[in-house]
């Protein structure tokens, strides 16, 4: 420790705050000038924290499960009746689906249809909410020898959740479809019209740029489109819902507010990615 | 630290006593960092994305007013950096907001520390409004787009509402658990 006189020490103390504020401005400029550096710093921290978060997530999951159990017990009777009715309906749908599947396979065999390659996927646990006030993202904990790359597609058990945007050694960040930087080409299933799904940071992303003469219908299913070669066609995204201000929004099929586990699919698509990836690969579709 | 300057009989500074004092001294910063990490894990709380910067602001403000010795500017800087890195906020925005909050709190602390809870809270509400607007402005500037203002408003509401809860806990900690004079 260097011994300084009291006035000098006081002057230094008084200088700390302005200097640090200047450094904060410098950080902002640096983060803007070299986004890769910020990304690397973020992923380094995420890599260090992912195992800790994974450990913390276990008791949290237990608490969530206990709460769900209690809620389930409270609503046992009404749930039972509802499930019985739903089961009846689903059994009918299953018959329809089986018939359609059989018909589809005969038609495909008649048409010499080239089957889609089955995409490979890995399953990963969501360990942290990595968004913030002005962003929506989650952090995945992945093993040290994972094969994830940027641009792969994350789905939960119900539908599209987002895309992998940052990769670390033990963690990966998934930008959710609700983030305001998210733009996803979609198809309205009823009219086969193309549109763009734009995140707003709110719970429901907005539909934009659909062609003239077509209106999204309330309750219509929305699936991904293979346009721009960033997504395979036909992944379930959600259903159209009109907001109070009459804007066409999408109720996401994925439960983005409580993601536990996501599957990250490798469709081999390198459409909208950094330039070192070969653009315009073969058009692959999911099953 | 004040305990060492006042005359009187004191227990010998054994290693345990020093450790105890050090842990009490570092309680505010450690507690804030832990809170930030905890709020980054997926608890599934409503408004959790807003809670994290809110907690950071409330912690830094409280400890800057009531014990600035345990919340020096470099620590504030690091806490801001942690908060920025945990989320996807542009690097530096959280740091700047927290540093300015610290500066204001330290400036006003002579007056504020003698006031009742309500006055401190009201001042904090004003600071939170400023912090939310500054955060909104900086993020808008750095991402080159006009961000929705209601997100900032919501952020302000959560921050103002969180303070009483944290302040109650911290006041107790400040008097008992984290008081270096009791070491």
Alpha carbons A186 and A250: distance in angstroms, whole number: 11
Tell me how close the Cα of A286 comes to any Cα of chain B, in angstroms.
30
**With contact defined as beta carbons under 8 Å apart, do A224 and A86 qualify?**
no
pLDDT higher for A57 or A28?
A28
pLDDT at A232 over 90: no
Whole-number pLDDT of residue A270 = 67
Tell me how close the Cα of A45 comes to any Cα of chain B, in angstroms.
7
B143 within domain boundaries: yes
Mutate to test the interface with A, among B34, B73, B91 (most CBs of A within 10 A): B91
Task: Give the tokens for residue B87.
Answer: 């989320």
Tell me how close the Cα of B33 comes to any Cα of chain A, in angstroms.
13
Whole-number pLDDT of residue B61 = 93
DSSP-derived 3-state class of residue A221? strand
Whole-number pLDDT of residue A7 = 82
Give chain B positions within 8 Å (CB) of A28: 90-93, 96, 138, 142
Q: Give the pLDDT confidence of A239-282 residue by residue, as tens digits.
A: 999 998 889 999 999 998 888 889 999 887 766 653 333 333 33
> B135 and A57 in contact by Cβ < 8 A?
no
Whole-number pLDDT of residue A226 = 87
Q: How many CB atoms lie within 10 A of CB A133?
A: 26
DSSP A246-286: --EEEEESS-GGG--EEEEEE----SSS-TTSPSS------
Whole-number pLDDT of residue A271 = 63
B95 within domain boundaries: yes
DSSP B125-138: HHHHHHHHHHHHHH
Whole-number pLDDT of residue A163 = 92
Q: Per mean pLDDT, which range of A70-84, A169-183, A197-211, B43-57 is the poorest?
A: B43-57
Q: Give the pLDDT confidence of A75-86 residue by residue, as tens digits.
A: 889 989 999 999
Closest alpha carbon within chain A to B83: A132
Task: Give the tokens for residue A101.
Answer: 């599947």
Range of B173's domain?
15-178
Average pLDDT over residues B16-31: 86
B131 within domain boundaries: yes
Alpha carbons A149 and A132: distance in angstroms, whole number: 23
> B73 and A16 in contact by Cβ < 8 A?
yes
> B90 and A131 in contact by Cβ < 8 A?
no
Average pLDDT over residues A210-231: 89
Q: Give the pLDDT confidence of A55-65 residue by residue, as tens digits.
A: 877 888 888 88
Whole-number pLDDT of residue A273 = 55
User: Could you tell me the pLDDT band of residue B1, with boundaries at 50, 70 and 90?
Assistant: very low
B6 within domain boundaries: no
DSSP A108-152: HHHHTPPPPPPPEEEEEEEEEE--BTTB-EEEEE--TT----TT-
pLDDT higher for A123 or B9?
A123
User: Could you tell me the pLDDT band of residue B176, with boundaries at 50, 70 and 90?
Assistant: confident
Q: What percent of chain A has pLDDT over 70?
A: 93
Task: Give the tokens for residue A126.
Answer: 């969501």
Alpha carbons B9 and A246: distance in angstroms, whole number: 75
Give chain B positions within 8 Å (CB) of A42: 85, 88
Number of domains making up chain B? 1
B56 within domain boundaries: yes
Tell me how close the Cα of A230 comes to any Cα of chain B, in angstroms.
23
pLDDT at A171 over 80: yes
pLDDT at B47 over 80: no
Give chain B positions within 8 Å (CB) of A24: 77, 80, 92, 95-96, 99
B174 within domain boundaries: yes
Whole-number pLDDT of residue B150 = 84
The per-residue pLDDT of chain B, averaged, comes to: 86
Average pLDDT over residues A220-234: 88
Quick check: B146 contacting A, CB < 8 Å? Answer: no
Whole-number pLDDT of residue A279 = 32
The per-residue pLDDT of chain A, averaged, comes to: 85
Alpha carbons B96 and B135: distance in angstroms, whole number: 9
Whole-number pLDDT of residue B79 = 94
Q: How many CB atoms lie within 10 A of CB B74?
A: 13
> Phi then psi for B52, rounded to 5 degrees?
-65, -55
Query: Domains along chain A?
Result: 183-253 (2.40.10.350)
User: Could you tell me the pLDDT band of residue A285, with boundaries at 50, 70 and 90?
Assistant: very low
Quick check: B90 contacting A, CB < 8 Å? Answer: yes
Alpha carbons A271 and B109: distance in angstroms, whole number: 56
B5 within domain boundaries: no
Tell me how close the Cα of B155 comes to any Cα of chain A, in angstroms.
7
B100 within domain boundaries: yes
Give chain B positions within 8 Å (CB) of A48: none
């Amino acid at each position: 420790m260097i011994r300084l006189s009291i006035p000098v020490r006081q002057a230094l103390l008084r200088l700390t705050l302005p200097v640090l504020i200047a450094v904060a401005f410098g950080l902002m400029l640096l983060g803007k000038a070299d986004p890769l550096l910020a990304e690397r710093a973020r992923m380094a921290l995420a890599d260090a924290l992912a195992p800790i978060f994974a450990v913390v997530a276990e008791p949290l999951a237990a608490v969530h499960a206990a709460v769900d159990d209690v809620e389930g017990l409270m609503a046992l009777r009404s749930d039972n009746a509802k499930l019985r009715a739903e089961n009846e309906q689903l059994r009918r749908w299953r018959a329809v689906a089986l018939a359609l599947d059989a018909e589809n396979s005969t038609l495909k065999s008649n048409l010499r249809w080239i089957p889609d390659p089955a995409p490979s996927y890995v399953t990963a646990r969501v360990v942290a909410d990595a968004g913030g006030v002005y962003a929506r993202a989650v952090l995945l904990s992945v093993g040290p020898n994972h094969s994830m790359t940027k641009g792969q597609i994350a789905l939960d058990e119900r539908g599209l959740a987002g895309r992998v945007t940052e990769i670390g050694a033990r963690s990966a960040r998934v930008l959710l479809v609700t983030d305001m930087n998210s733009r996803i080409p979609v198809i309205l299933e009823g009219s086969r019209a193309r549109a763009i799904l734009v995140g707003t940071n709110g719970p429901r992303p907005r539909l934009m740029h659909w062609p003239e003469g077509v209106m999204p219908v309330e309750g219509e299913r929305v699936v991904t489109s293979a346009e721009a070669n960033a997504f395979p066609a036909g992944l379930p995204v959600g259903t159209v819902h009109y907001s109070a201000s009459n804007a066409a929004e999408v109720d996401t099929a994925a439960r983005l507010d409580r993601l536990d586990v996501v599957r990250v699919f490798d469709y081999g698509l390198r459409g909208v990615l950094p330039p070192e990836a070969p653009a315009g690969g073969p058009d692959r579709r999911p099953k | 630290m004040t305990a060492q300057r006042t005359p009187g009989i004191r227990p010998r500074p054994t290693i345990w006593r020093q450790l105890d004092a050090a842990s009490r001294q570092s309680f505010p910063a450690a507690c804030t960092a832990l809170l930030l990490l905890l709020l980054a894990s997926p608890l599934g709380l409503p408004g959790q994305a807003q809670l994290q910067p809110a907690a950071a602001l409330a912690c830094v403000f409280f400890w800057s007013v009531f014990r600035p010795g345990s919340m020096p500017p470099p620590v504030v800087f690091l806490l801001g950096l942690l908060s920025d890195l945990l989320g996807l906020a542009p690097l530096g925005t959280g740091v700047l907001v927290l540093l300015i909050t610290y500066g204001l709190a330290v400036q006003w602390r002579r007056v504020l520390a003698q006031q009742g809870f309500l006055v401190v809270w009201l001042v904090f509400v004003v600071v939170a409004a400023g912090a939310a607007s500054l955060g909104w402005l900086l993020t808008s500037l750095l991402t080159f787009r006009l961000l929705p203002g209601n997100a900032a408003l919501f952020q302000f509401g959560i921050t103002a509402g969180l303070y009483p809860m944290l302040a109650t806990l911290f006041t107790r900690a400040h008097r008992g658990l984290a008081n270096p004079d009791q070491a």
